[in-house]
């Protein structure tokens, strides 16, 4: 029996939300994957409401925990229960997560649905749990196109869903910040980058070793420093903005709370 396969009939569904809804109905436990640097911003309240509606057990899994300090993690644990902090990159917390799943299922075989925003780290989490490349991963947001059925252990079967946005959410700056829209594809990178620089000003100034009175001046100095220029030697803010978003999305820049 193959440990990894795609559920073909789900792949033919017309929308990602239909696939997610089906998983929410079929799974016993639902994991919502969150980014440790931006926990509240990566919570999908629409999904959480559906989980409550279906009466399913919910487990918050906060990934990329190597990018935040212990104080931030401990504070989040007080408000998100039950929760497990992991780092798929460092292979930290995966054993604790498996134990928590079996604790919630009382040791019985269990189907676990995995949900979250695009590119929040769902597939990397599954690979860390399974110990092999069981879920396809990519730096491109929204890489998972259909539901994937993955056996992690004799008692744990995961259903990995495509990442989805809340239906009414149109905040492109937020999507750029949390990586739900890839830095190379976001339509207005300057707005997203300036928002990010405003919110993480100390981290940006430290990482790029630049100063400035406001976000636009910081972005201009980044453009000059990394030679992101247009004709005539003017700063190319669009290219500089994509650089900032790339460095943030790939975890090179740590939050100022780190």
Tens-digit pLDDT profile for the chain (258 aa)?
333 333 333 333 347 788 889 999 999 999 999 999 899 999 999 999 999 999 999 999 998 888 888 787 788 888 899 999 998 777 789 999 999 999 999 999 999 999 999 888 888 888 888 766 455 443 344 434 567 889 999 999 999 888 888 877 888 888 988 889 999 999 889 999 999 999 999 999 999 999 998 999 999 999 999 999 998 999 999 999 999 999 999 989 988 754
d(CA 55, CA 49): 10
What is the C-alpha R_g of the chain? 19
The β-bridge partners of 112 are: 29, 158
Kindly give, in sequence order, each residue whose CB lies less than 8 Å from that of residue 163, ignoring residues fewer than 6 positions away: 16, 116, 117, 118, 119, 120, 122, 141, 142, 144, 180
SS3 150: strand
Say if CB 7 and CB 148 are below 8 A apart. yes
> Rounded to 5 degrees, what angle do the CA atoms 73, 77, 81 make?
150
Q: What is the CATH number of domain 4-160?
A: 3.40.50.300
Q: What is the CATH number of domain 172-249?
A: 1.10.1580.10
pLDDT for res 74: 81
SS3 206: helix
pLDDT for res 145: 55
pLDDT for res 7: 34
**Nearest 5°: phi and psi at 256?**
-65, -15
pLDDT for res 66: 85
Say if CB 237 and CB 222 are below 8 A apart. no
Portions of the chain given CATH number 3.40.50.300: 4-160
Portions of the chain given CATH number 1.10.1580.10: 172-249
pLDDT for res 148: 83
pLDDT for res 115: 93
pLDDT for res 257: 56
Nearest to 134 by CA among 103, 108, 156: 156
d(CA 239, CA 223): 8
pLDDT for res 68: 86
């Amino acid at each position: 029996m193959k440990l990894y396969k795609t559920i073909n009939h789900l792949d033919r569904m017309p929308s990602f939300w239909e696939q997610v809804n089906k998983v929410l109905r079929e799974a016993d436990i639902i994991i919502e994957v969150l980014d440790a640097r931006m926990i509240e911003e990566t919570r999908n309240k629409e999904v959480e409401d559906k989980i409550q509606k279906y009466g399913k057990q919910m487990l918050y899994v906060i990934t990329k925990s190597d990018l935040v300090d212990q104080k931030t993690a401990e504070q989040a644990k007080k408000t998100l229960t039950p929760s497990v902090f992991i780092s798929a990159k460092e292979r930290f917390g995966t054993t604790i997560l498996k134990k928590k799943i079996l604790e919630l299922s009382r040791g019985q075989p269990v189907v676990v649905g995995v949900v979250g925003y695009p590119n929040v780290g769902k597939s990397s989490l599954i690979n860390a749990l399974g110990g092999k490349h069981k879920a396809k991963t990519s730096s491109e947001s929204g890489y998972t196109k259909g539901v994937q059925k993955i056996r992690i252990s004799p008692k744990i079967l995961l259903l990995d869903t495509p990442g989805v946005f809340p239906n009414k959410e149109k905040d492109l700056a937020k999507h750029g910040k949390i990586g739900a829209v890839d830095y190379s594809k976001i339509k207005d990178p300057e707005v997203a980058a300036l928002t990010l620089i405003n919110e993480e000003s100390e981290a940006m100034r430290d990482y790029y070793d630049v100063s400035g009175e406001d976000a636009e001046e910081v972005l201009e100095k980044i453009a000059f420093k990394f030679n992101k220029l247009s004709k005539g030697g003017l700063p190319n803010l669009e290219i500089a903005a994509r650089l900032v978003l790339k460095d943030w999305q790939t975890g090179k820049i740590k939050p100022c709370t780190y």
